[in-house]
Structure 1
Amino acid sequence: MNKRYNPIKFTLLASLLLFAGSCKLDTVNLNAPAETDVLTTREGIIGLSVGLRQFNSTNGINAAYFYPAVTSRELQGVASFTNVLELEAGGTALPTANGNILTLWSNMQRMMTMSQNIIDNAPKVSTLTGGLLSGIIANAELFKAIALGNLAVSFEQANINTSTTEKVTFVPRAQVLAEAIRLLDDAIARTNTTPPTAEFTTLVAGSRFDLKSVLYAFSARYNLMAGNYAAALLSANLVDQTKANAYEYNAQSVNPIWNNINTLKYYTPRAGFGLPAGLFEAGDLRLNFYVSIVGTVRTLTGFGATQTANVPVYLPDEIKLDKAEAMLRTGGSLTDALAQINAVRTQASGDLFGVNAGLPAYSGAVTQADLLVEVYRQRCAELFLTGQRWEDSRRFGRPFSLTDFTERNRNFYPYPDQERLNNPNTPADPAI
């Protein structure tokens, strides 16, 4: 017998009772289920697992994609709201009281707490066993890793666990990434030992979310960020690139890109993916996929075409570019790396999500340094508005100074005032 669970109902409780340890909430939602129902029953754990993915696909993406996109100059903040204008100004003009930074920080804390509660409590529910249990725990480890990865992109230091009883401590971002990778490794090992069942797919993941491929894709991404290039290449090679993994939406849980385009209207895409003239390549078909240009007016399109349009969990061509970069940074074959780059550049049709470059094959110098620049160019176009440009800009050593904000206007965000006021362990803010 199929049962339907209400992820919104369970996420409400998670948002109230399972919040980060440095914050205290005094309100109670009388319409939410009791905490024991969520954390001690089969229905509650399954509902919270679905709600976890839903939370990331809406609140998580909204914060992790849009705010860093302004900082990395993909988008221009055009609303008259203070938070948006401060992000757009960047530099030393970005204050610790900025509400968007607080939202990004808080949303990742919520995801971490929801995930950890599933990890800790799912094994205690006697009716959760076998492949359903392994899938649920691995799914929670994935989303905790994603939250940690987003924190590592945006902050020099962060916590790797939340607490309702103690003030959390901070560790350098290298350790944050290491913990994200550890969680992914554990999830991969778990699902290899006990593969998720069809019941897990039906009740939790859905038909557009192949957990194993998603785990390998994020392992490749975060190992690349951490400088573990051999591990990144190994994981990238294990991603099933025939799977179009996507977040799905409905009228109650709407596509966050669509919402920003049609409802909030806070941002506009910069010309040429926000790249300097030397990096933008005319004729790139991806520009017209992601951006509608009418006269001088640019509007986001891409994966926000409708209220219920799917958003990719990752793009297949990210994996090809991961492979190329990992090869280049480990002194691998220039020919093999170039083949991966050209597979992205020359694709004119057939991409699982319709993101086709349609460019001629690379014709520049075939050296490690030149091909790394080309990888960066392709990542900026292919992975537009996926929350990765800011990290890429730092990793590829792109130009930045207190006066040159062409490609990014900060290195890391300051810590939110609310965290500092509630948690004496909050580190000093980065200078820029």
Structure 2
Amino acid sequence: MKSNIIKYTTILTLAVVAMATTSCKKDFTDPSRPSEEQVFSSPAGLTGVCVGLQRTYSLSRASSLYNLVTTTGLVTRELRLLNAGNLPEDQLNRGGTAVDGTNTMLAGLWTTSNKIIYDADKVIENANNLSDKGYAAGLIGYASIFKALSIGAMSMYWTDVPEGNGVNVGFVTRAQGFDLAIATIDNALAAIAANTPPANFNSSIPAGLDIVNTLQALKARFSLFNGKYDQALAAANLVDLTKRSTMNFEAANPNPIFDVHTSNFNVCQPLDSTMGLPVGLAPDLADKRVPFYMILSGSSAARFKINGFAQLANSAYPIYLPGEMTLIKAEALARKTSPDLDGALVELNKVVTKKASGDPFGVGADLPAIAGPLTADQLLQEIYRNRCVELYMSGLKLEDMRRFGRPNTERSRNFMPYPFRERDNNPNTPADPAF
């Protein structure tokens, strides 16, 4: 990754720390714009950069959120493409060799992820220099969430990921990428444990995001993905399942999934009420999560329309769901060195029987409990089914399909090719996967 070529200038939006110049010498820089040193040395400047991380991750069709949800949705058959004129989406929908380094959605995810990691590293590094250690801990925690999400996104899509920023940077395996995300989270949790962020920090960042619960939830997620089941279980147990953690939107800055998909019938809508699952795994007809995530459209273009977390322009999108944490517990118990299949079934049934009224987001299957005992294979199949339904359009299904050993025929790609921009500028870029 040639991050020296793509100089990330988040300071452009930070007028809050602008200062007047006093020098009389000729200076062709904008005198109203703060220097990078000024931005990264003040609490206000660092806060502005943090807000920029969330905007880059979640706003617009170019955002990580849009690219993750839509790419995974098309590749895993959660979504159907309505108009092949949407070329990057069409490539992902066709899959195989149709997806190459020209795909702008993959290139966008690669670029935004690296931008977020770069800026987050600057925040984390410079926050340590602030005198207010509580405020610094808040900045580190907030920035670390989006850094970890970005490293995790790259590790879910590519076989190898950059090991840092710089010219001709090297690559590490995606398993090492997940470890880097977890290390980022652990550093943030340690900073917050040492110094509690003050109330004025929480009021200075966008509402909706619960920092500590989100850090623990992401640690549980990436530990599970990396086969560290005891660690995943421990982290999931520390998440308060009564709390919400969301990226919020408004009419002027709408939810990008709503803006591109739900508001019209020109790009993507749900494939159907099977959520793309094959016969034998499709949701129960009585599963109330299906009408939560999709409703009848009344349009001939597509029978179903996206609902759930992209129903409206101002619909908040969760960073994780409480149900994800419960399913992580079930899977970790089923897969760890000394499996606890009975305990795993208990956790699974918490999701299966959950009513909408018992979930902070209103996601509830409201089905009868699954009777046991189940074999490990039977249990894992039910966990997979419920992850696909509970976490529909979360961007996690491709990783789940590989982990649960689902056949390649159920998806259009397994791992993604590297953007040509990276390959053209970095000789260390790995070979593209065959599928």
Within 5 A, what are the aligned runs for 1:264-413? 265-271=266-272, 272-280=274-282, 281-294=284-297, 297-330=303-336, 331-350=338-357, 351-363=359-371, 366-400=374-408, 404=409, 407-413=410-416
- Unpaired runs of 5+ residues, structure 1, are 1-8, 15-27
| Residue identity in the other structure for 1:323 | K
Which residue identity lines up with residue 40 of structure 1 in the other structure?
Answer: S
Instruction: State the distance in 2 between where 1:109 and 1:34 align.
Output: 22
* TM-score normalized by the length of structure 2: 0.87
Once the two structures are overlaid, the 10-residue window that deviates more, 173-182 or 75-84, is: 75-84
Structure 1 pair 199–258 and aligned structure 2 pair: CA distance change class (3 A):
same
Native 8 Å contact 1:68 1:154 kept in 2: no
**C-alpha deviation, 1:419, in angstroms:** 0.8
SS in 2 for 1:203: coil
1:75 equivalenced with 2:79 (yes/no): yes
Between stretches 133-142 and 317-326, larger displacement belongs to 133-142
In 2, Cα distance between equivalents of 1:52 and 1:33: 18
Aligned equivalent of 1:111: 116
Give the whole-Å Cα distance in 1 for the aligned partners of 2:395 and 2:31. 36
Q: 1:253 to 1:12 in 2, by over 3 A?
A: farther
Cα distance in structure 2, aligned partners of 1:312 and 1:11: 28
Superposed displacement of residue 345, structure 1:
0.8
CA contact (8 A) 1:138 1:188 kept: yes
1:269-292 CA-to-partner distances (Å, cap 9, x unmatched) read: 112111112101222111111111
Distance, in Å, in 1 between the alignment partners of 2:127 and 2:251 is: 30
Structure 2 counterpart of 1:63, one-letter code: N
The structure with the largest helix share of the pair is: 1
Aligned residue for 2:94? 89
Q: Which residue of 2 aligns with 1:45?
A: 46
| 1:268 counterpart SS class | strand
**Per-residue CA distance 1:73-100 (angstroms, 9 max, x = gap):** 1112222122111110101221221111
SS of 1:124's partner is: coil
Aligned partners of 2:346 and 2:32: how far apart in 1?
56
CA contact (8 A) 1:273 1:381 kept: yes
User: What whole-Å deviation, never above 9, does each CA across 1:33-88 have from its counterpart, x for those lacking one?
Assistant: 54334223221111111221232222121112211221111112222122111110
What corresponds to 1:25 in structure 2?
none
CA distance in 2, matches of 1:170, 1:276: 36
Q: Which residue of 2 aligns with 1:183?
A: 184
Give TM-score, length-normalised by structure 1: 0.88
Mapped contact 1:157–1:173 kept (Cα < 8 A):
yes
Post-superposition shift, 1:228? 0.3
State the secondary structure of the residue aligned to 1:161. coil
Counterpart CA distance in 1 for 2:47 and 2:67 is 25
Contact 1:10 1:33 in 2 (8 A): no
| Residue 153 of structure 1 pairs with residue 156 of structure 2 | yes
| Amino acid corresponding to residue 371 of structure 2 in structure 1 | S
- Give runs of aligned pairs for residues 108-147 of structure 1, distance below 5 A: 108-126=113-131, 129-147=132-150
**Residue identity opposite 2:256 in structure 1:** P
Deviates more, 1:260-269 or 1:411-420: 260-269
The number of residue pairs the alignment matches comes to 401
- Aligned 8 A contact 2:232 2:332 in 1: yes
Deviations 1:81-127 (A, max 9, x none): 2211111010122122111111111111111111111112222345x
SS in structure 1 opposite 2:314?
A: coil
* Counterpart AA for 1:410: R
Instruction: Name the residue aligned to 1:222.
Output: 222
C-alpha separation in 2, matches of 1:205 and 1:319: 24
Query: C-alpha deviations, 1:345-398, integer Å up to 9, x for none?
Result: 111232111111121211365111111110000000000011100000000001
CA RMSD of aligned residues (A): 2.1
Confirm or deny: 8 A CA contact 2:219 2:232 kept in the other structure.
Answer: yes
